[in-house]
């Protein structure tokens, strides 16, 4: 389906106003990367259209059983995906459909209408990287109940502001959360212990690229740890006092080693660093 834009507008609004198609279906095409503007795939609902642009909707793409992000691993029990930054893992009161859970669920149901999906763990909305979903409640419970035992390695890559004082370190802190969902470093004996290890991969005058591994899994743990050292993560609008203009949080879950009870062996899930990480380090 091809459309020539006849006035300036936002993409979703324009399509809803000019197509005889339910809004929900249009949003699905956007979510699944089936809409192209001037030959470029667009998924943002508020993408600005200019008169004369060409819009192409690939109406057959829904039957191709593809996702707008990489599937790292999939079998009959689990599916492991590479979550993009800016996407909620699960629904909130404000957002029900534009979530990783909903997209993965739609993908599985396009192959089997009776398919189910269960969240095993999650990442912050602004963090990208590896997320595991279960396809049945049995494996979901098994993984969740034994998570700390089964997970052998949790690694992230991050870009932080400035140079680190040490090339590697082990950060041991106690963390608490305010009523407004802000995590902070508390006094010894209060809150929950959080242990974060880091190592500098590369640095410049402005930024440091870090490899980070976790010994614990607390909410916002890495973000708070880096901010407390005076090297907040680039793009962190919540825990940084530095007013940078980056449009994403430079934190990416790139490696996860897990004992997989179905196969009775350890599996290492690994994804590449987002290209913007390399770009910012080359500035």
Residues taking part in catalysis: 124
List the helix and strand counts (H, then E) for the chain: 7, 17
Q: What are phi and psi of 120, to 5 degrees?
A: -100, -45
Tracing tokens 């098994």 back to the chain, one arrives at 142
Q: What is d(CA 134, CA 104) in angstroms, rounded to the nearest whole number?
A: 11
Q: What is d(CA 181, CA 52) in angstroms, rounded to the nearest whole number?
A: 45
**Residue 155, C-beta contacts closer than 8 angstroms, at least 6 positions apart:** 211, 212, 213, 214, 253, 254, 255, 256
Cα 58 → chain centroid:
25
Nearest one of 134, 74, 129, 121 to 217, comparing CA atoms: 121
Q: What is d(CA 230, CA 177) in angstroms, rounded to the nearest whole number?
A: 20
């Amino acid at each position: 389906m091809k459309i020539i834009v006849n006035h300036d507008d936002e993409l979703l609004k324009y399509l809803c106003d000019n197509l005889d198609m339910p809004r929900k279906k249009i949003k699905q095409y956007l979510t699944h990367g089936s809409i192209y503007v001037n030959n470029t795939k667009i998924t943002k609902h508020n993408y600005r259209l200019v008169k004369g642009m060409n819009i192409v909707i690939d109406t057959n793409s829904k039957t191709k059983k593809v996702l707008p992000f990489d599937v790292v691993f999939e079998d009959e029990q689990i599916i492991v995906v590479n979550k993009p930054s800016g996407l909620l893992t699960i629904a909130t009161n404000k957002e029900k459909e534009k979530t990783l859970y909903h997209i993965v669920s739609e993908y599985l149901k396009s192959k089997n209408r009776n398919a189910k999906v269960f969240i095993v763990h999650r990442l912050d909305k602004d963090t990208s990287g590896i997320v595991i979903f279960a396809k049945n409640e049995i494996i979901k419970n098994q993984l969740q109940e034994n998570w700390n035992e089964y997970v052998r390695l949790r690694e992230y890559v991050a870009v932080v502001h400035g140079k680190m004082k040490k090339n590697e370190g082990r950060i041991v802190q106690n963390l608490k959360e305010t009523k407004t969902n802000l995590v902070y470093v508390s006094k010894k004996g209060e809150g929950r212990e959080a242990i974060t290890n880091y190592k500098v991969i590369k640095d410049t005058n402005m930024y440091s690229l870090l490899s980070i591994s976790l010994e614990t899994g607390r909410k916002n743990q890495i973000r708070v740890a880096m901010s407390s050292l005076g090297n907040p993560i680039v793009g962190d609008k919540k825990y940084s006092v530095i007013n940078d203009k980056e449009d994403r949080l430079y934190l990416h879950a790139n490696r996860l080693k897990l004992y997989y009870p179905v196969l009775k062996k350890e599996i290492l899930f690994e994804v590449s660093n987002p290209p913007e990480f390399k770009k910012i380090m080359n500035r």
